[in-house]
Amino acid sequence: MVVSLREGSRQRRIERWEQVSAAPLTLLSVVFLAAYAWPILVPDLARRWVVACEASGVAIWLLFWVDLLVRLALAGDRWRFLRSHLFDLTVLVLPFLRPLRALRLVTVVLNLTRRTTVWARGRLALYVSATTVLLIVVAALAVLDAERGAPDASITSYDDALWWAAVTITTVGYGDLFPVTPAGRLVALGLMIGGIGLIGFVTGSLATWIVERVADRDRPQPATAADVAALRSEITALRLMIESQPAVGQSGSVHSHPIGRDG
């Protein structure tokens, strides 16, 4: 009993922390994305601004670490928490390697989509659309960062990167643009996996919606308020009509003739 009360108290503390940190982490994710994108979209940006963007990105990434460590400290079973958040931990650890710094964007995607899930409140179309657009934008930035300046690179502008990301996430794959660097191919791999998941999710949801629509056609429709009101009006009119008719035997038009036993 005491253990369950402690677990419940710790869970409530984690929930309170997540409620308090939700808005700041969302804002930090947007700022991180802007600081990452600015030097990529503006290659001739002044060196001081490039350094400022990189410093901002590192600082915000460290704050993501703080969020994870606070939730770990508040958790009761910390090993269980780490096992359930192994992907988050991996994403935070790997960007220590310079070639994998684009993986910091995955943390941004996770934070923003987590908030989108809460804001959507079951609105499937909003969640899927926001996640898809976010993946395309982030993947385009990451692949352009990896490919620009590489020998024989075919993705050299953000327009090309957006086109490549949209084609890849939909699994079309025209082959006109493709990454040639290891980091770019890693981005492509992640986008392919995310695209397969999203396409499967959307296809399954659409199929379920169609099946429910077809089933609803054969299902009797429930009575609406208008139907009930119309039925009440008809009953009231019928009652008034019956009450306005003369009673049998009173108007003289109908007479009863008793029949004796002898006929």
Q: Model confidence over 5-36: pLDDT tens digits?
A: 566 677 778 778 878 877 788 788 888 888 88
For residues 53-81, average pLDDT = 84
Rounded CA separation 134/108 (Å): 10
Is residue 95 scored above 60 in pLDDT?
no
Is residue 190 scored above 60 in pLDDT?
yes
Of residues 132 and 37, more confidence is placed in 37
Q: Model confidence over 213-233: pLDDT tens digits?
A: 777 666 665 656 777 778 788
Is residue 191 scored above 90 in pLDDT?
no
Residues 91, 103: contact at Cβ < 8 Å? yes
Of residues 47 and 93, more confidence is placed in 47
Architecture of domain 123-218: Orthogonal Bundle (1.10)
Of residues 69 and 214, more confidence is placed in 69
Reported pTM: 0.64
How high is the pLDDT of residue 221?
A: 59
Cα angle: 86, vertex 112, 203; to 5 degrees = 85
Length of the chain: 263
- Per-domain residue ranges of the chain: 1-121, 123-218
How high is the pLDDT of residue 158?
A: 92
Is residue 69 scored above 70 in pLDDT?
yes
Give 123's DSSP letter.
-
Look at the block and give the residue holding tokens 């930090």. 28
Q: Which of 138, 135, 130, 137 is nearest to 194 (CA)?
A: 135
